[in-house]
Every structure is written in structure tokens, then in C-alpha cells.
Structure 1
Amino acid sequence: MERHKSAARPLALLYAALIVYASLYPFTGWRDQGLTPWAFMAAPWPQYWTRFDIIANVAGYVPMGFLLTLALLRARWRWPAMLLGFLAAALLSFAMESLQSYLPFRVASNLDFGLNAAGGALGALTAYVLEHLGAIDTWRRFRARWFVRDSRGALILLALWPVGLLFPAPVAFGLGQVYERLEEALSRMLEDTPFLEWIPLRELDLQPLLPGVELICVALGGLVPCLLGYTVIRDTGRRALFALSALAVGVLVSALSAALTWGPLYAWAWVSRPVELGLLLGAFSALTALVVPARGCVALLMLALLVQVVLLNASPESAYFALTLQSWEQGRFIHFHGLAQWIGWLWPYAAFVYLLTRLGRSKE
């Protein structure tokens, strides 16, 4: 059986970056209090804590320990892999708590460190047990049957796609709407400088999406993950099962996002008539593309990404939507201080770059 490149190591690196972002956000106001960075270890036990804090601090580091240990096990390590996976997760937590001592909006805590280390240990133990029971080998055989050998990049993007949907999008499945915010951010950055004149001015105001255009954006948003999966899945039946699963995950995550934003009663409020028709059109398009070769799916996917991004960025973000997101951005855990939004903004462009590298490798 041909050996596939493991996605555990790049996923571990991505998750470590997520932890750094969530631990040190907003990265401003650094100051020295005259204490050693590890002084928190000798501080009294925190008097105030909640059950949510305990669960979040443990759960946040379980994937870190799991992925690190899995990456080491992939390199044929055994007991040292579990130990090193735990130690690496604990050291990362210690470094984050130490750095939080220099941030005015964060509080270094020995309790948080202990809970993070416990989560890392739980994740490392879970990876070792699953490997010992043969579950990891089962996944490897499954991956070898379902996906082509060079599928790691696509699988990582597919794993990140639902994370991008966690942050509520102005259009269902509409990732990558960055033009208006990028324009505003660039103008603020270059304010009071001669370079401000270099920014090309828009001659026309951005126009709200018409229902028909929204329908197309939703259909393309549902088709994109299906086509990405098709680029690394050859069997038609497996493609169909994957497409059905991808669309189901997208719908469920979008409902979860709406429930977290507006409350459980509004979990399905985003499903309007254009969204329903768009999902049906996306599913039909995915069905008709089942027999398209992988290289053809790459071309179709690049076209779908391009069209959707252009349509989305030709429309403004509604004032009501922006006001709603202000309260959502103040949430505690699920969005990691806006990181899900960054993934939603950048995912289509990262996918496009990945597809360009795929085309470049195929020509070699």
C-alpha cells in the first residue's frame, strides 16, 4: 500500500498557531511588571473560576496533545511519542501563560496551565490508545482507499472549511468577502501619508446582492468543497457520499453559527428561499460533476472560487450584519477571538493558491 503524507504535523502547527492567537490576543499594551515570567506558578490558587473555564482550558489543549503525538507516532515513535506530545503541549501552555504576564488584558494563571497540561496529556494518551487499538491504522487504510496519495493539502483545507463557516457569513457558504474591509483598513493605515493617493478609488458604490446573485453564491459555496474533495477522490460512488457529507456538514455548521449568534430559536433563520434554491443547485452541480476527472475538477473549482469571490466582494456588508457581529465577536471560546472569521476571509484564497501549486506539480 502506498504511503500517504500525514496531515497530523501541519494540523498540529496550525492548531499551535490558533492557540498562540487565542492566548495573546489582542497583542497590544505589552508592559513589564518587574516580575519573572514564571512568577504565576508560585501565585495563590485563583479564587474565582467557572465550570466553563475548566472545560475550555482542558478541551483547548486536547487536540494539541493528540496531533503532536499522532505526528510522532507516524514517525514510528511509541512511548516517547506520547511523553513528548504531552511535554510539547505543556511547554506551549507554559510559554503562553508566561507571555500573558506582559499583557494588560490577560491574566497568567497556574490553574490554566495545569488544566492545559491535563488536556495535552489527555490528547496524547488518546492518540496512543487509538494507535495501540489499531484505529489509526484503520484511518490510514481508509485514506489510502478513498484518497489519492498527494491529498494532504486538500484534506487540511477541507478540515478548515467548517471552521470558516463558524463565523456567520453575510451569505450562506459565502467565504472570502474581504474587499470592503481591506479597502477601509488600507485607507486607515495610509491616512496622513502621501501614499493614500495611490489607492485606486471606486467609481461606483457596492450594490447589495440580488436574490438571483445570492442564489448563485450559495450554490457555488456548496459546490466548492465538493469539487475540492473530487480532486483527491477518484471513485464516483465515494465522491457522491463525500459530497452529501460535505453539504450536510456545511448546513449543520451554518445552523450552529446562527444559533450561537442569535440564539437557538434562530438556528435556521438563515435558510431563505434563495438559500434553499442555491443549496439545491449546488447539490445538482456536484452531482453532474461526479464523473469529471480530477484535473477537470481543479479547473472547475478555480473558476467557481473566482466567480463566487468576485460576486461577494461586489456587494457591501450590511450595517445590521456588522452590528450583529460586534456582539458575536465578544464571545468567549467558539470563535477564538475572531480567528474563525480570519479563516472564513482567507480560505478561498488559500484554496486557490493550493490549486495553483497542484497545477504546477502536474506540469513537472
Structure 2
Amino acid sequence: MDNTREKGELSLKELVHLIQKWLKFLLGKWYILIIAGLIGGAVGAFYASTKRTAYTAVTTFVLESGEKSSGFSQYEGLASMVGMDIGGSGAGIFQGDNLLEFYKSRKMLQATLLKTSASDTSKLLIDRYLEFEEEKQKKDKQIDFRKHYAGSEVRQRDSLMNKVIGQLIKKNLKVDKLDKKLSIIKVEITAFDESFAKEFNTALVQEVNDFYMQTKTKRAQHNIQLIQQQADSIRGMMNGNISTMASIVDATPNLNPTRQAQRIIPSQRSQFSAETNKAILNQLVQNLEIAKMTLLKESPLIQLIDVPTFPLENKVVSKKFYFFIGFILCFVCSAFILTLIRFYKSAMSEEQIA
């Protein structure tokens, strides 16, 4: 037991002695470690100086889509008699996370990129993007997205557009809900151009929300147009019947009492047609009001909460931070390398002695 304890104490002493020798060795090489650390810090600071400032434009809005309520079920049978559907207008495609995917769709992003820049009307938003991403310098031929190309030029234009859209989805665009249980949507655009970030964010939100509104209420708007056309047609026919009745009376001012059929029969026919059209018109007017109420019910509420304003939030790269990181990394790496060299030399010298 005593021998085991003495050997354990001896091994511990050797370990402490080894650490002391290692620290002494490193302290003797302090100048090398400091120089390596300064070089690493300089490299880190230089890297930070080459990094561009990224600006983030954020828009948040609350979305409340119209839901089909039982209060309108009493009108569905009546509306179906005239071929009108007052049911839902495809709300299902906007349920869950489907709406978020519209922000990443080619249709929405391309339509937004082809909008004119508000700060420079001579350029499209895609031109602004290509400027700070320096993609145009990589192209043998300049592409003007305002022109209509043909042949191989269309393929070249579409290829560049696809590349830009892919980069936007991967690096610049972020769309998510603030909370899975809430209907508050957050749209972020990060770019090296502050004006582009703000303009593209605003244009994209407007483009998607307009598309959403149009699609959500498309069926209800179609019903209103259809019933309005029918109502206008019946109203015109009724007015024509009334005019016909008046014309018949005017055409026979001093009618012989024995010839009343010449006035009564055409007049009653016109009167019957006018009353029939009036009844139909009353029904169509009721259906038209129902359709308008349905449109209001199905029109979603989109209320902006926060919109991007200058100056935008930016991520400035800290030179001091990168200098510190570079200094620490090079300092530690240099100490590790010096330690390996010392162990290698010690091992080689022991072999030579042996």
C-alpha cells in the first residue's frame, strides 16, 4: 500500500513538474506568441473591414381571413336557385403555412423584382439587386429586363432571373409567424443596399397581399358581376314594357268603345311582362345584396403593424471583435505548435541517448 501511494504521489509530482516546465517554456517564447497573436488579430481586423454592412427591413402584419359562418346558410338554397354560390372562395389554400410559401414563389418574387425602384425610377428592383451583388459584371452581355427578348436571349434572361430568385430565397428573404398560434406574419429582407431592402420588402408584401385579396374574393366578385348583369338586363326589359304601355295609350287617344281590344290586349301584355320582370328584379336585388354581404364576409383583414423605416436595422461588423478572435486563435495555435515541436525534439533526443 505504501509503495503504491508513493508511486502515485511521484506520478502526480511528475505531472505538476511537467506542467511547470511547459508553462516556463511558453513564457520563454512569449514574444513569438505575441507576434503570432498580433498577426492573427490584424488578419481578423482586415477581414472585418472587407465585410459589408447588411441592412434588414422588417414588416409585420396581422391577417384575419373571413370564415364561412352558419348565418348565411339560410341564403344558400335561395342563391343556388339562380346559379350563385355564396360558399367559401378557396380559403383552404391560404390556411396554415401555405400563405408563407407565396412569399417564396417565383410568381411573387419575379413580379416584385420587375417593379420600378421608388428611389430611382430609371431602374427596376432587379437592377438594384444586381448592382450590389455584382452579378452584371459576370455577364458577357447586359440584360435589360424592360425589353422583350426572343430566342436564346429569353433563356439567358430567365436563367439570370432564376439565379436572382434563388439567391433571394437562400440569403435575403425570411418569412415566418411570430407565434405558431397567432396570425401575425413577419417578413424580413436583408441586403447590402439599404434602399433596396426597404423598397423590396414593401413591394413584396404589397404584391402578395394583393394577390391574396384577389384570390380570396374572386368567386364573390364574379357572383356580384353576374347578378348585376342579370339585374341590369331585367331592369332594361321592365323599362321597355312600361314604355310600350305608354306608347299604346298614346297611339289610340280617341279609341272607339267598340274597339277596346286594340288597346287593352297589348297594354295588359306589356303590364304583365313589366310586373313579371319587376318580381324577378326584386329577387335579383336581394341576391345582389347577399352577394355583397358575402364579399364583405370573405374579404380578409390585413392590418400592417410595423413597416420598415429609415434608418434600417444594420449589422455592422466589429473590427475589435474580429481582432480579438484572431488574436486568441493564433495565440493558442502558436502555443500548441511550439508544444508539439518541444515534445518532438525531446523524443528525438531521448532516442539518440538510448
Which bracket does the TM-score occupy, shorter chain normalised? Answer: under 0.3
Q: Which has the higher contact order (CA 8 A, sep 6+)?
A: 2
TM-score (norm 1): 0.18
Higher Rg of the two aligned structures: 2
Task: Report which of the two has the higher share of strand.
Answer: 2
TM-score (norm 2): 0.18
